[in-house]
Chains A and B, each alone.
Chain A
Amino acid sequence: GQSLEQPSEVTAVEGAIVQINCTYQTSGFYGLSWYQQHDGGAPTFLSYNALDGLEETGRFSSFLSRSDSYGYLLLQELQMKDSASYFCAVLGNQGGKLIFGQGTELSVKP
């Protein structure tokens, strides 16, 4: 089966940097995705890592270590609008099934 673990909530201040970790257990692994969901909104795709290393997209970066079954999402220069839930997700070996973690609620304070 597959399971993902991420912290349930994180709090940070505007302008700061925050890292949201995700560890996973899966019998087949293709890559790790990250999604953002604002309250009342739809999950939206942020990034995907299939290979080890850091991928940067503006203020957001995502990292993967396949040997450690671990990844993280790094958010820099935090803004109030970054307050949302962040989900890591893995593609399992059962073809087309994206499995989500339970989400990390990020609160950005002034």
Chain B
Amino acid sequence: DTAVSQTPKYLVTQMGNDKSIKCEQNLGHDTMYWYKQDSKKFLKIMFSYNNKELIINETVPNRFSPKSPDKAHLNLHINSLELGDSAVYFCASSHRPDSEKLFFGSGTQLSVL
């Protein structure tokens, strides 16, 4: 069983479209994250949820809206996609918010054309 799974693995779409990425973890963790990795492999945190509550919200355009229906799921919806949104988006989870050990999903490669 995959510990942190996200879908889809690849997403190719046109500018202006709206898309969602889903993430689920079966580790029983309380905290989940979205990270963005750009073409230079820089990993930057976007959001973090602890027990369904938003605890970190970095300077991210409000076109990005995370949603956590329960502590095992964290989805990311992106409105009005732009070329600059092209990146790999990683979901991750950890036991607690201040953890040094994150478990990452396999990533969603988003290409905006």
Contact = CB atoms under 8 A, between A and B. Distances in A.
Interface residues of A, number: 25
A7 interface: no
B86 interface: no
A86 to B, nearest CB: 11
Given A30-B98, A33-B100, A42 B43 contact: no
A44 B104 contact: yes
Contacts of A94: 56
Interface string B25-38: 00000010000000
A55 B34 CA distance: 29
A33 B103 CA distance: 13
Nearest to A48: B100
A98 B102 contact: yes
B42 A96 contact: no
A99 B45 contact: yes
Interface in A60-110: 85, 87, 89, 91, 94-100, 102-103, 105
A50 B100 CA distance: 10
Contact of B102 (A45, A102, A103, A105): A45
Given A96-B55, A99-B45, A30 B97 contact: no
A42 B100 contact: no
20 contacts: A30-B98, A33-B101, A41-B106, A42-B104, A42-B106, A42-B107, A43-B90, A43-B104, A45-B101, A91-B98, A94-B56, A96-B97, A96-B98, A96-B99, A97-B56, A98-B45, A98-B99, A98-B102, A99-B45, A102-B42
